[in-house]
């Protein structure tokens, strides 16, 4: 369901259509407004368009870095899962070996007990 949200950014009002909640959209707009107003107040030479372009570049950079971080996390998780699977496989192999050795010990103890009886 599309929400209509009115926001104000660097003195201009916009009505946005969004599937996000109005609160989320308002928070984004407030954050952008603060950032853009801060940039405008720091520089006498930047226009609203200049600030918008710089904010867009910054947002794109952040999005790319976040995507790269997410890719790295997915890769690490895959490596952890593989390592866990190898460890589990090794543990199963060791359990089988222990079981076989216990059985062999029982057989040897039985043979030893049979020899001791006579």
pLDDT digits (tens, 9 = 90+) for 49-94: 999 999 999 999 999 999 999 999 999 999 999 999 999 999 999 9
Query: Cβ(14)–Cβ(7) under 8 Å?
Result: yes
Taking residues 33-58, what's their average pLDDT?
95
- Give percent of the chain with pLDDT exceeding 90: 92
pLDDT at 116 over 80: no
pLDDT at residue 44, rounded to an integer: 87
- Percentage of the chain beyond pLDDT 70 is 97
């Amino acid at each position: 369901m599309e929400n209509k949200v009115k926001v104000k950014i660097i003195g201009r009002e916009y009505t946005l259509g969004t599937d996000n909640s109005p609160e989320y959209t308002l928070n984004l707009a407030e954050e952008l407004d603060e950032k853009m107003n801060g940039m405008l107040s720091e520089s006498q030479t930047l226009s609203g368009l200049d600030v918008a372009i710089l904010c867009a570049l910054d947002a794109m950079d952040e999005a790319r870095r976040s995507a790269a971080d997410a890719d790295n996390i997915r890769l690490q998780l895959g490596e952890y899962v593989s390592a866990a699977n190898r460890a589990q496989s090794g543990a199963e192999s060791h359990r089988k070996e222990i079981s076989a050795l216990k059985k062999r010990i029982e057989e040897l103890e039985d043979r030893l007990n049979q020899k001791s009886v006579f």
